[in-house]
Amino acid sequence: MFPSRFDLVVAQTVAEAVEAKVDAGEGGRFLAGGQSLIPMMKMRVAFPETLIDINRIGGLDAIERSNGHLQVGALVRHADVVASDSTFGAIAAAAPWVADPLVRNRGTMCGSVAHCDPEGDWNSVLLATGAEVIAHGPGGERSISIADFVDGAFTSTLGEDELVVGLRIPVPSGRSGGAYLKLERKIGDYATVAVASHLELDDSGGISTAGLALTSVNPINTKVADAEALLVGQQPSDELFAEAAELAAAAAEPRDDVRGTAAWKRQVVRTYTKRGLAAAAQQAEGS
């Protein structure tokens, strides 16, 4: 299989890439790792007229902590996230479970975020930890909170000519922990169900910040805001996490498919929420 014909623009700078996108109009697409886009083009699900390759742009491949944030450039591959010692909690937990080792060597975290596949892992993780997506367009740069960015299945609020150039993820200042529990049939398969959890504790051991988000059980990566609100201000306990798990299960609308029945998937959400929050709390207490 091979894609339909397209023109390739190899951009050397962000400005050049954005300019090429403006010129290409609706038929233009940015190409980073290509681990979702190229398969879609081969299957003729996507058929851009112009591909704008951003892989040669300098300065976009760093993952580092700066000003209380984890900054991830547009060319940071999943494998770089796995190898990085700047990550924390749910981000560190999720990275090794994205796709498979070979795909992780090419695919980028920002590309995956921009792709907005509801079965993708990163957007759930970022909905739990909080993050800003840095977008560069013809009018300059702006940041979009991840909750506003993720708009639907394969749909974000990114402007037509904007390129995701990076992510800014707040690094918790106090005690914190996180988990990403993913059930998959085999390595490299989409999640049957996955749950991202993130907890920050105050000096008295109470929960000061909570993040909880679900993958593959709705048409969009889902932040479970009512469970987060329930957790904040409470002391971690199995009873509390069981209560949050009920809210998570209620927020999930999975479908029967080859990966399992809806009822079973909802039960996995319940179990993984309890386990994920307990693991996050344990990590936070030990930090």
How far apart are CB 162 and other proteins at their closest, in Å? 22
Contact yes or no for 164/134 (Cβ under 8 A): yes
Decide whether 34 or 73 has the Cβ nearer to other proteins: 34
Q: SS3 for 250? A: helix
Residue corresponding to tokens 């591909």: 51
| One-letter amino acid for residue 71 of the chain | Q
99 touches other proteins by CB under 8 A: yes
Is 154 an interacting residue with respect to other proteins (CB under 8 A)? Answer: no
- 113, 126 contact by CB (below 8 A): yes
Binders of other proteins among residues 24 to 63 (CB under 8 A) are: 31, 34-35, 38-39, 41-43, 51, 53, 55
Based on the shown chain and the rule CB under 8 A, indicate whether residue 8 belongs to the binding site for other proteins. yes
Q: Using CB under 8 A, which of the segments 4-12, 110-118, 175-183, 255-263 binds other proteins?
A: 4-12
The four Cα atoms 235, 238, 244, 248 give a dihedral, to 10 degrees, of 150
Residue 13 interacting with other proteins (CB under 8 A): no
Does residue 82 interact with other proteins by CB under 8 A? Answer: no
Strand ranges in the chain using DSSP code E only, listed in sequence order: 7-10, 28-31, 50-53, 63-66, 69-73, 132-137, 140-145, 150-152, 155-156, 163-170, 175-183, 193-201, 207-215, 222-223
The binder of other proteins chosen from 4, 155, 235, 237 (CB under 8 A) = 4
Chain positions contacting other proteins, by CB under 8 A: 1-8, 10, 31, 34-35, 38-39, 41-43, 51, 53, 55, 79, 99-103, 105-106, 187-188
